[in-house]
Each structure stands twice: as structure tokens, then as C-alpha cells.
Amino acid sequence: MKATAKAHTNIALIKYWGKRDESLILPMNNSLSLTLDGFYTTTTVDFQDSLTADQFYLNDRLVEGAEHHRVSAFLDRIRKAAGRPDAFAYVHSTNHVPTAAGFASSASGFAALAAAASRAIGLPDNAQALSILTRQGSGSACRSVYGGFVEWEKGAEADGSDSYAIQIAPADHWDLRVAAVVLSSDEKKVLSREGMKRTVETSTFYSAWVESIPDDLEAIKAGIAEKDFEKVGEIAEANCLRMHATTLAANPPFSYWQSTTLAIMETVRKLRSEGVPAFFTIDAGPNVKVLYTPEHEETIRNTLQDVPGVHDIKVSRPGQGVSYV
Ligand code: PMV
């Protein structure tokens, strides 16, 4: 009863922002992402009869408290699904992602955990069921089950049975680059869970956000099919700005941006004005991801590196979905 799985993070081009059900993690809107090959988590789950509780190690460190509880509560769902309520496990995760700084380590983390645990406990291998299960650990993680361009269908059912990810195009459909510009490894101040809740409950811009999604989705899917970089980049950047605008209209208002975040945004706009097609997107943290095509690799890297406050740049290509090691 042991299995090891690997999963990559993903970057949303159309953001998931707001839940309609907090416990099942059902989103208010569809979202669309690109799985990234540069950041991943490898997790081994080993169910042992001798255990009376789960033991969770992250990067070889025993984890206790809230983080342990989140993993264990997620394994409860898997035990229940497998009809093995008393099966406890050793969980060893290695994260190749800078955690909690706007890099979605929870996405690769929960996708790898769900895949390894499902296989170890003997649940049938089924990507759709895995995506539904993964969603209940962390919403954006349900998209990391698949490689390439992935849409998370919000679904309509109250039980979440139709809220899962589907692949729009595989990783080898389009050779794009995403530079993750690391500004700070500080823990983020407003976690995505809390930020979404406050926004849904109080932001006067929230309904406009939800209403804007269907048009963005239709246009970006056409852009991906046609490999129209300008179109995809423009929609992704505008969608990101609209998501962040909802936080400014929340009560109390908040923002994930720091001064260097704004400096990078300005740099990307300047690159465009000089004829270098590049677009930015930002999740629930200060770091920026810059989207571009391979021929501009050197210009983009050199320009971003020179922005004061930039600590590191990690470049990804489109990545694969969950795999078993
Ligand atoms: O799934 P969570 O709780 O990590 O939320 C992710 C939310 C964003 O990263 C801001 C957007 C997204 O779709 O990934």
C-alpha cells in the first residue's frame, strides 16, 4: 500500500477567484491554466497497519499543527472513498517550489498527494475522479492533474460531482515560456483562502469579475487553439488585473502587490512598447510571472534581472500532468 506521484504547479491565465462552497471547494467561476514544468512536488504515501495517525514529512521535516491537519483531513476523504477508515500513512513530500509566496505549492502538493494516496489505497486510476478529489484539497490543484492548457469547469451540482478540470491542449501544443520573477520569499499576508472569502463577501467589484469570465474564456480558448500569442497574453493580463481590482474594492481593502511587483509590470509594458511581446500575470502574492515566446528568452531574462528588488528568475515551459514514479 505504497505509491509515489509527481505533480507540477500551474499558472492561471484566467483566475479562479471566489468559492460558492467553502467545504467542497466549489468555485464561482471557471478558470484556465498552464501547467509549468519548472515547479513540482514529489510525494510518497505509505499506508502502514502499525500507525494510529498520519505522519507527514515535508522536505524531510516532520510537520505538525494546522498543516498536518490539512493533509490528514484530506486523507480522511480518501480513506472514506476507499472504505478504509482506519488506514493511516507515512507521507513524505518534497517541494520544488518556493512555498507561500504566491507560487502555488498547494497545487502541486495536493495533486501529488491525491495521486499517491489514491493509488496506494487502491482507488481506481481515473483522472476525472482524481481531479474532483484533488479539488477538495486545494481548488487550483485540480488543474495540475493534467499537463498543458487546462480548464476547471465550475460545475452546477451541489455535491461537486461536475466540478473538475479538463485538458484543453497538451503541453507540446505550444512552446511558450513563463518566467517566475521571485521578489521575496516572505510569507504572504492574506492567504488565498481568506482573500477570496473577503472579496466574495465584501467587494463591490466582485459581481463584475464573475460576469467578465465567460467572454475571457471563449476568447482565450480561441487564442490557444490559433496559437495567437498577443491575444492570449492580452486576455491573461487583463484578467489578472481584474482579479486584483476586486481586492482593492473589498472591505477592508487589500492588495497582494509590492512596489517591485509594480516595477515589473511597468518593465513588461515597456518591453512591449519596444516591440518585445511579453505579458504578466500575478496570483495571490507579490511575485510576477511573465509570459513570452522562446525567441525573446535572452532579452526578457536580462531586462527582468536588472529590475531593482528582483531576487531570482525561474523559467518554465509547459509541463506534464500527474505521473507515478
Ligand atoms: O487553490 P488556491 O487556494 O491556492 O487559490 C489559487 C488562487 C489563484 O492562484 C489566485 C488563482 C488561480 O486560479 O490559481
Distances (CA, A) of 59 to 23, 65, 91, 98, 289: 28, 16, 11, 12, 25
Q: Is residue 35 lining ligand 1, measured as CB closer than 6 Å?
A: no
Q: Which of these, 179, 155, 183, 324, lies nearest to 258 by C-alpha position?
A: 183
With a 6 Å cutoff on the Cβ, whether 132 touches ligand 1 is no
Mean pLDDT score across all residues of the chain: 95
**Ligand 1 contacts CB of residue 284 (under 6 A):** yes
Atom index in ligand 1 nearest the CA of residue 15 equals: 13
- Measured CA to CA, the distance from residue 160 to residue 141 in angstroms comes to 15
Output the pLDDT for position 101.
45
Note the CATH number of domain 1-325: 3.30.230.10
Give the atom of ligand 1 at the shortest distance from the alpha carbon of 10.
14
- Tell me the backbone φ, ψ of residue 4, rounded to 5 degrees: -125, 135
For 168-203, the pLDDT digits (tens) are 999 999 999 999 998 865 656 788 899 999 999 999
| Closest to 55 (Cα-Cα) out of 104, 17, 88 | 88
Task: Pick the more confident residue, 285 or 25.
Answer: 25
Could you tell me if 309 and 263 are in contact, meaning their C-beta atoms sit under 8 angstroms apart? Answer: yes
> Best mutation site among 8, 9, 13, 16 for ligand 1, i.e. most ligand atoms within 8 A of its Cβ?
16
DSSP 38-84: EEEEEEEEEE-TT-SS-EEEETTEEE-THHHHHHHHHHHHHHHHHT-
| Nearest CA among 45, 2, 255 for reference residue 137 | 45
Segment 135-178, tens digit of pLDDT: 999 999 999 999 999 999 999 999 999 999 999 999 999 999 99
190 lines ligand 1 (CB under 6 A): no
Domain range annotation of the chain: 1-325
ipTM over 0.95: yes
